[in-house]
Amino acid sequence: EAQVTQNPRYLITVTGKKLTVTCSQNMNHEYMSWYRQDPGLGLRQIYYSMNVEVTDKGDVPEGYKVSRKEKRNFPLILESPSPNQTSLYFCASSLQGPDYNEQFFGPGTRLTVL
């Protein structure tokens, strides 16, 4: 089944403890992206990647890192999480850039930083 998977789905952690949220797609998509969803703010793009080894900052990249060493994986790394990073995170992918291509979203990761 074609899909985007994220792990973990739920995570409660403490300030400063490094964590990684994994994202994987099995559709051979080139474009991948991370978003965070906060009440009243809509989906905001954190980082995106047009292809392997190519990553760029979205609108809210501070406090996050990403890597794209393989086409299928695009992990989101929080080196030193803080409470303001408590949010719902979505990974998404599309065949190529999202000009003509719809994005497929993962199931979301709900992160709480205490």
Partner 1 sequence: ILNVEQSPQSLHVQEGDSTNFTCSFPSSNFYALHWYRWETAKSPEALFVMTLNGDEKKKGRISATLNTKEGYSYLYIKGSQPEDSATYLCAFWVNRDDKIIFGKGTRLHILP
Q: Does 1 bind partner 1 (CB under 8 A)?
A: no
What's the CA dihedral at 80, 23, 9, 7 to 10 degrees?
-80
Residue 50 Cβ vs partner 1, minimum distance, rounded to whole Å: 6
Confirm if 10 and 110 have CB atoms less than 8 A apart: yes
Residue 107 Cβ vs partner 1, minimum distance, rounded to whole Å: 6
Confirm if 33 and 45 have CB atoms less than 8 A apart: yes
Q: Does 81 bind partner 1 (CB under 8 A)?
A: no
Q: Does 95 bind partner 1 (CB under 8 A)?
A: no
For residue 43, report the phi and psi dihedrals to the nearest 5 degrees.
-75, 130
* Dihedral angle sign, alpha carbons of residues 20, 78, 11, 24: negative
Residues 35-64 that bind partner 1 (CB under 8 A): 35, 40-45, 48, 50, 56, 58-59
Residue 41 Cβ vs partner 1, minimum distance, rounded to whole Å: 7
Chain contacts with partner 1 (rule: CB under 8 A): 33, 35, 40-45, 48, 50, 56, 58-59, 90, 92, 97-108
